[in-house]
Amino acid sequence: MKITDARLIICSPDRNFVTLRIDTDEGIYGLGDATLNGRELAVASYLSDHLLPCLIGRDPFQTEDIWQYLYRGAYWRRGPVTMAAIGAVDVALWDIKGKALNTPVYNLLGGQSRQGVMVYSHANGRDLSETVESVQKSIEEGYFAIRAQSGVPGMSGTYGVPKGGKAYEPAERGLPAESLWSTEKYLRFAPNLFEKLRVEIGPEIHLLHDVHHRLTPIEAARLGKALEPYHLFWMEDPVPAELQEGFELIRKHTTTPIAVGEVFNSVWDAHDLIRHQLIDYLRMTIVHGGGITAMKKAADFAAMYHVRTGCHGATDLSPVTLAAALHFGLAIHNFGVQEHMRHTALTDEVFPHQYTFDAGYMHPGTAPGLGVEIDETLAARYPYQRAYLPVARRLDGSITDW
C-alpha cells in the first residue's frame, strides 16, 4: 500500500479545526486532527509546507519509521506546532492501518483492557449555587466523574465559566479577550465550593477541579491541603509546569492527587514529574503528544511509576482526537479517566462518529480504524475564522497565566 495524497481540511463549525486526510492507492484513507487552539494555521503550514510532501509514496503501515523520520528528520525537535503536526500524521496512519486490517484501532494497541472508558464532564456556574445545579445536571446525564468550576465572588469572570448562558468554550473569535485574576479571592473561595458540593451530592461522585496554571507551588500546596476533606479525584494544573521540581513542594504538603500535562507535547516534559512520582495523572493528549505512537510509549513509561492517564479532551480537540483517545484509553492498562467536553451539534454533524456515551462511560465503537468521518461538503460551509484564547491580568494590570 502507498500514500498517494495528503491534504488539509480547515473548517470552523462553531470553532476551528484542522483535519488531515491521507489517501492511499488502495482507496483507503485515514484522518488525523491537527488542531492547536488559537495557533491553528501554524500547524497547517507545518504540515502542508513541510511534512506532507515527504509522505507521498510511503507505505502507511510503517508508523514507527514515519514517526522517527518526521521527528528526527526535522533536526528541530518538540514544541506544540511540530508535535501536533506529527501527531496528525501518526493518527491518520493508525486509522488507515485499522481500516486495511478491518479492525478497530484499539485491537492494534492491545485490545480491550476494559469495557468502557470512564469520562468526566464539565460542570460550571457563575456562582456556587449555579455550579451545584450544573453538577447535579451532569449526574442526571449519567456522569459519575465531574469537573466543577465556579465564578469567584468579587471577580467579574474566571476560567472555565461561560459568559451569558452559553456553553463554556475557551477560544473566542476576534482578538484575545482579557480577564482578571486574584489568587487570594480564589484561594478563599475554592474550598467553600467543594465543601458545598460534598454536602449536596454526597461522597460517591468523583469531583475534579482545574486550577489552570494559576498558582505558585506554595499556594498550590495550601489549596491541595484545604481540599483534602473533600477527596478530589484530582487537582489539575495547579502551577505552570515548566519547573518540574516545583511539584516537590506541593507534594510535601498535600495528598490531593495532581493531574498535569495538557500543554505538554513530549514525555520529556513530564520526565521528572513521572519518575519522582510528583503527579498522579498525565494529561497530555494524542494530538499534542505526537500521536498514538508517542503516547503509547509515554503511557508505558508512566505506568512504571503508578502514574495513570487523564487525556485532555476539551472542545478544541476534534472528534478525531476524541475517537483516538477512546481507542487508546480502552486499550492501555494504566488508563485513569478521559475528559469529555461535549462538542456542539454542528461540530458533531461535520464529524460523524461511531463513539457513544452510556452511564458515565464512552466506547469508540467497533468500526474499522478510528470510526470517525468528516463531511467535507458541510465543512466547506464553515470557513476558518481567526480566534484566540484569552489573556489574563492580575488586579494591578500585570499579565499572569490564563
Residue 99 interacts, among ligand GCO, Mg ion, none and using kind-specific CB cut-offs from 5 to 8 Å, with none
Q: Is residue 143 annotated as part of the catalytic site, yes or no?
A: no
Among 109, 294, 316, 369, binds ligand GCO (CB under 6 A): 316
Among 54, 74, 139, 389, binds ligand GCO (CB under 6 A): 389
> Residue 108 — φ and ψ, nearest 5°?
-85, -10
Hey, how many other C-beta atoms are within 10 angstroms of the C-beta on 128?
Answer: 19
Closest contact distance (angstroms) between CB of 312 and ligand GCO is 6
Q: Where does this chain touch Mg ion (CB under 5 A) — which range of 90-98, 119-127, 204-212, 321-329? A: 204-212
Decide whether 23 or 210 has the Cβ nearer to Mg ion. Answer: 210
CA distance 361 to 56: 38
CA distance 31 to 88: 8
CA distance 320 to 313: 11
Residue 314 interacts, among Mg ion, ligand GCO, none and using kind-specific CB cut-offs from 5 to 8 Å, with ligand GCO
Closest contact distance (angstroms) between CB of 106 and Mg ion is 25
Q: What nine digits make up the cell of 281? A: 495523572
Q: Does 37 sit near ligand GCO (CB under 6 A)? A: yes
Closest contact distance (angstroms) between CB of 354 and Mg ion is 26
Q: Does 170 sit near ligand GCO (CB under 6 A)? A: yes
Decide whether 21 or 213 has the Cβ nearer to ligand GCO. Answer: 213
Residue 339 interacts, among Mg ion, ligand GCO, none and using kind-specific CB cut-offs from 5 to 8 Å, with ligand GCO
Q: Does 40 sit near Mg ion (CB under 5 A)? A: no
Decide whether 18 or 55 has the Cβ nearer to ligand GCO. Answer: 18
Decide whether 14 or 248 has the Cβ nearer to ligand GCO. Answer: 14
Decide whether 106 or 159 has the Cβ nearer to ligand GCO. Answer: 159
Element (H, E) at 8: strand 3-11
Neighbouring C-alpha atoms within 13 Å toward the C-beta of 269: 24
Among 33, 219, 262, 269, binds ligand GCO (CB under 6 A): 262
Among 33, 40, 280, 339, binds ligand GCO (CB under 6 A): 339
Q: Is residue 213 annotated as part of the catalytic site, yes or no?
A: no
- List, as own/partner pairs, every contact residues 35-39 make where C-beta atoms lie below 8 angstroms and the sequence separation is at least 24, other chains included: 35/84, 35/287, 35/316, 35/317, 35/318, 35/321, 36/80, 36/81, 36/84, 36/288, 37/170, 37/171, 37/314, 37/316, 37/389, 38/171, 38/387, 38/388, 38/389, 39/80, 39/81
DSSP string, 19-55: EEEEEETTS-EEEEE---TT-HHHHHHIIIIIIGGGT
Percentages of the chain per state (helix, strand, coil), in multiples of 5:
40, 20, 45
Residue 48 interacts, among ligand GCO, Mg ion, none and using kind-specific CB cut-offs from 5 to 8 Å, with none
Decide whether 217 or 313 has the Cβ nearer to ligand GCO. Answer: 313
DSSP string, 131-190: HHHHHHHHHHHT-SEEEEEE--TT-S--TT--STTSPP-S-EESSPPEEEE-HHHHHHHH
Binding-residue total with ligand GCO (CB under 6 A): 9
Contact flags string 207-246 toward Mg ion, x per CB under 5 A? ---x------------------------------------
Q: Which of 209, 212, 327, 340 is catalytic?
A: 212
Strands (DSSP E) along 299-383, which ranges? 308-309, 338-339, 356-358, 361-363
Q: Does 266 sit near ligand GCO (CB under 6 A)? A: no
Contact flags string 199-238 toward ligand GCO, x per CB under 6 A? -----------x-x--------------------------
